[in-house]
Amino acid sequence: MRPQRSGPALLLFLVSCATAGQDAAVERPLSPPSLSTPLVIAHRGASGERPEHTLAAYELAIAQGADAIEPDLVPTRDGVLVARHENEIGDTTDVATHPEFAARRATKVIDGRSVMGWFTEDFTLAELKTLRARERLPELRPANTAYDGREAIPTLDEVIALAKRRSKELGRTIAVYPETKHPTYFAAIGHPTDALLVRALDAAGWRTADAPVFVQSFEIANLKRLAGMTRVRLVQLLDATGAPADGGAPSYAAMTTPGGLRAVARYAWGIGPNKAMLGDGKLVRDAHAAGMRVHPWTFRAENRFLAAPFRREGAARGDLPGEIAAALRLGIDGFFTDFPAIGVAARDAMRDEDQ
């Protein structure tokens, strides 16, 4: 949980909410041309069936019909953005088995939390490429461990190249939906990842609001910076508890009031709330009223991650299609899932219902 904030941060946020009302909400296109809606966003690839953030996971997600693939982005020591959920890579690679890197194990404070392990910013890209990915949740996804040791850590450029190649081969647009991880932390240690990201998107020819790319962040300041650096769509991530690590708002809850959402709409195209925040759909309705789209996270098949009504006693997995369908009925515009094949089927079944 991120710490709640008050005092100056609260005052600043309330002022921004008040002034945001001066900007009329505008209707914005839902997605770049040729993308399906609601969007099925492959969370770290088809991470329910392959080790996350690998080209194999992204390839499978695309084959299963995902509209977008999501790389979380962290930098290397030599300034290359790579796809890892966190900059600490002890749980997602075989780095611990490499004696040549044993001395790089360290403890760092990231967003106020002490973390021990191996960190991407302490490795060059060439060094990271000697590592191999492994399943992060072997106790829940034992079948995925069969793919341990097969895949390298991909760069953002490699993910973009994959999306472009498969878009051409399949005749449909595959979007890329990157998340900037810990941007304030990285800027403070000399790795301003926003500039690296925009440089990569510009090189891909993705500069405008109809480009097949969505950039997301749990922080506020870097999204506002990005709004001045690029025209691509920006998505403000929201959690059910805590506050942005950069202190840009007193809490995520404060950002979900009608005034808070209008403030977000001044720099973001949409929001990505924790699915636990959907409730009866009020957040979706209020976000739409502010002119934004809603892409909740993360829909997973395992009972541990499902809302209580969709869990199945005595089974490893529950009713993921039912949970997705319930969210779609609230009017969401897309969703993140570790199981894109299930997500696509659930989305398409809802379309059939509506026809």
CA angle 81, 61, 34 (to 5 degrees): 90
Q: Which of 43, 182, 288, 295 is catalytic?
A: 43
Counting beta carbons within 10 angstroms of the beta carbon of residue 131, is it exposed (0 to 12), middle (13 to 18) or buried (19 or more)?
A: buried
Exposure b/e, 196-229, CB count within 10 A at least 16 = b: bbbebbeebebeeeebbbbbbbbbbbbbbbbbeb
Per the annotation, the verdict on 85 as an active-site residue is yes
CA angle 126, 59, 198 (to 5 degrees): 55
For helices 55-63 and 156-170, angle between their N-to-C axes, nearest 10 degrees: 20
For residue 348, report the phi and psi dihedrals to the nearest 5 degrees: -70, -35
Q: In sequence order, what are the residues at sequence separation of 6 or more whose Cβ sits closer than 8 angstroms to the Cβ of residue 85?
A: 44, 52, 53, 72, 92, 136, 181
Nearest Cα neighbor of 64 from 295, 345, 325, 333 is: 345
Query: CA separation (Å) from 210 to 32, 89, 104, 175, 180?
Result: 5, 34, 42, 11, 20
Nearest Cα neighbor of 174 from 270, 61, 342, 333 is: 61
Q: Which of 53, 85, 191, 295 is catalytic?
A: 85
Residues marked as catalytic? 43, 85
